[in-house]
Amino acid sequence: MKLYDYVLSPSCYKVRLMAALTGVKLEIRAVDFHPGAEHRGPELMALNPAGSIPILEDGDLILTESAAMLTYLAAKAGPEWLGSGAPEETARLQQWLSFAHRLTASLGGARLHEMLLRPGDIGTLQAQGIAALRELEAGLVEQGLRGMRFLASDRPTVADIACFPYVALAPDGGVPLDPYPAIRLWSRAIRSLDNFIEMPGIHRLHELKREHVEPGEV
């Protein structure tokens, strides 16, 4: 199974993370996303006419949407990551998978603007990102009232992995996470999972500085 990957891409990272959590071995094909724009070159455009990464190739199957990749990896190697199958849980899982696209567009867009100088209205991107974080915070608080730490269930699912990277990297786009205690607790729960792997800017739980730990957080 081959992943066309850029190490600084949160969308690529979520696929690498899902593979690590489910024990799937990936062949990594590094892509010169910046500054080389290799994802717009003829080889990768032939695989994905949208000109985006990640791309996951498994035999004759080519996937170009990260949510589909997470679902595929889970279905192959970790079906528990797809939830219990209960109707309400399945609906929550699908809703948060869709919500992850808003995080990519807003927080991801702000990050690209700040880090790679991509054009965009940074004020609008940050405002949209803050609105998305408030919605996520409210969802996690509601789940907490049900006695659940994760977005769709009492255990992590593909929905959590879909949302986690762009949230964790929100400060790169000038959007702090300080106002969101439920998000910080959720983030720490994900970082503490067995076989969690990091990317630049996202560290394992034990490598977080102590000043990042709020009273009551574990």
Residues constituting the chain:
218
Average per-residue pLDDT for the chain: 93
**CATH code, 2-80:** 3.40.30.10
Question: Is it true that the peptide bond before 165 is cis, omega within 30 degrees of 0?
Answer: no
* Nearest partner of 171 among 187, 156, 158, judged by Cα: 187
Comparing CA positions, the residue from 126, 114, 100 lying closest to residue 201 is 114
Residue 88 sits at φ, ψ, to 5 deg, of: -65, -40
Sort residue 63 into left (φ over 0), alpha (ψ -120 to 50) or beta.
beta
What sign does the CA torsion over 160, 163, 169, 175 have? negative
Task: Tell me how far apart the alpha carbons of residues 167 and 161 are, in angstroms, rounded to a whole number.
Answer: 10
Nearest to 106 by CA among 159, 64, 169, 149: 169
Q: Are 109 and 125 in contact (CB under 8 A)?
A: yes
Closest to 4 in 3D by CA, of 45, 57, 66: 57
Instruction: Name the residue ranges covered by the structural domains of the chain.
Output: 2-80, 83-212
* 83, two tokens: 């939830």
Beta bridge partners of 3: 28, 56
Tokens, residue 35 = 């500054």
Please determine, for residue 7, whether its predicted confidence score (pLDDT) is greater than 90.
yes
The reported pTM is: 0.91
Residues 162, 69: Cα–Cα separation, whole Å: 10
Question: Which residue shows structure tokens 């990749």?
Answer: 69
Residue 194 CB coordination number (10 Å): 6
Residue 12: per-residue pLDDT: 98
201 or 126, which is more confident? 126
61-84 tens-digit pLDDT: 999 999 999 999 999 999 999 999
Give the CA radius of gyration of the chain. Answer: 17
* CA–CA distance, 170 with 168 (Å, rounded to integer): 6
- Each residue of 31-70: pLDDT tens digit? 999 888 899 899 999 999 999 999 999 999 999 999 999 9
What is the fold of 83-212?
Glutathione S-transferase Yfyf (Class Pi); Chain A, domain 2 (1.20.1050)
Q: What is the pLDDT of residue 10?
A: 97
Distance CA(192)–CA(204), nearest Å, equals 7
pLDDT score of 36: 83
Residue 43, both tokens: 């080889």
